[in-house]
Structure 1
């Protein structure tokens, strides 16, 4: 059968894949929630949810540096990649080994489309439908919760030395907007480096968010920044809920509610 991934690339599968390699942490979590744990044969070192998988499955490197020989030895039926997480070179090398699906996520609708595609590819359509409906339910409930909230202007930091932020055309920015957090760097694209003085030039900024990933911001970094921005609320946020798509969204909206109560 022929399938399309989210880049509209066509690939062929003779049978339902029984040996899956996943190069995307949030998708590894989704596969388990789809009931596909036994079919997973290889994951990255960043695939930390659920935590026991690291002990059970072959580690094939990171999301940007893979052990291509190990992947070949595992003889996968399919390799799952993501346009942002994995490089173009990695995707091209994977396609030489087996069928390869590349996801491309910017919105919740993209996530639901991905889950729908996996339902067909892995013959788990009922479970996929269940997850999709539950995400929609959680999302609709959150939209009701957020309706009366005021817009807050925020900056979302993902890295230090150099300082880097999440800007426009990212899943993070989409979820910030869903929360009525106005990204003060929305005029920029993707994940640019910035100078802290750029924040001083802004007329108002309500919150600075320091993400737990990919850079592990800690309380000491709040202290560091608070000296420069004494009137701005600086908060550590769980980056997994702002950047992990897939079934992580089932928990994300409850986290967002707690964050709003905190603010």
Structure 2
């Protein structure tokens, strides 16, 4: 059973579809994930009777994406394995460990090696570009130091203007204007930023290049990382 969308996709890509008995309502990749397995609630609100009925041999979750109270309740009854991922090396380690735990060790090792090679080949074109990466609106929230997104930004050739702050801080329009990033990246998730929001940020930072980016390729730390390096290269 998987409690995290990116790790659900990983399990399917490792050829383990028939072993997956439960996923969350946010497990949108692959498209058939929520029809092949039972939906057991969200990432932060599990439906415990459904999980009990499925009696999973292993539950795979994540320290940040799942909630402590729910995980603590599951640990009492089932084997639970939690990932804790803030960097690419930690993501690759998770892929290998999940493969080992779920019986797809060689396939997972090959996948991790391919992702590692794609990032090794990602060369920044020229000096770093200063950037701010937004994940939320009202209040404005950005990805800062200690997040997986921050690590991805650096590997993509960006310098995070809010690297001096921790995790996902709230910031004001005045702070954004003072930081004066060259690029403002609006994530497609978890907040559904769209083209209509670009004008709002242009008023704050008229000189910045502003665009909506694929949030999954910055924040999903499973097999979707296969697409990230090429996307970052195009983005630069």
TM-score, length basis structure 2: 0.97
CA apart distance, 1:130 = 1.1
Q: Aligned-residue CA RMSD in angstroms?
A: 1.1
67-76 or 210-219: which moved more?
A: 67-76
Q: How far apart are residue 219 of structure 1 and its match? A: 0.2
- The residue number in structure 2 matching 1:163 is 140
Q: Which runs of 4+ in 1 moved over 4 A?
A: none
Partner of 2:191: 215
3-state SS, counterpart of residue 121 of structure 2 = helix
Kept in 1, the 8 Å contact 2:23–2:38? The answer is: yes
C-alpha distance in 2 between matches for 1:174 and 1:219: 26
**Structure 1 partner of 2:173:** 196
Equivalent residue, structure 1, for 2:150: 173
Query: Secondary structure, in 3 states, of the residue corresponding to 1:96?
Result: helix
- Write the distance in 2 (CA, Å) between the matches of 1:28 and 1:225: 34
Deviations 1:155-175 (A, max 9, x none): 110001111111110000001
Deviation for aligned residue 1:97: 2.2
Q: Secondary structure at the match of 2:159?
A: strand
In the superposition, the TM-score normalised over structure 1's length comes to 0.87
Q: Answer whether contact 2:161 2:181 (CA < 8 A) is retained.
A: yes
Could you say which residue in structure 2 is the equivalent of 1:6?
none
Equivalent residue, structure 2, for 1:26: 6
CA distance in 1, matches of 2:168, 2:6: 19
Could you say what secondary structure the match of 1:242 adopts? Answer: helix
Residues 1:141 and 2:121 aligned together: yes
Structure 2 residue 219 is the aligned partner of structure 1 residue 243: yes
The one of 17, 26, 32 equivalent to 1:46 is 26
What are structure 2's unaligned runs of at least 5 residues? none
Structure 1 gap segments, 5+ residues each = 1-20
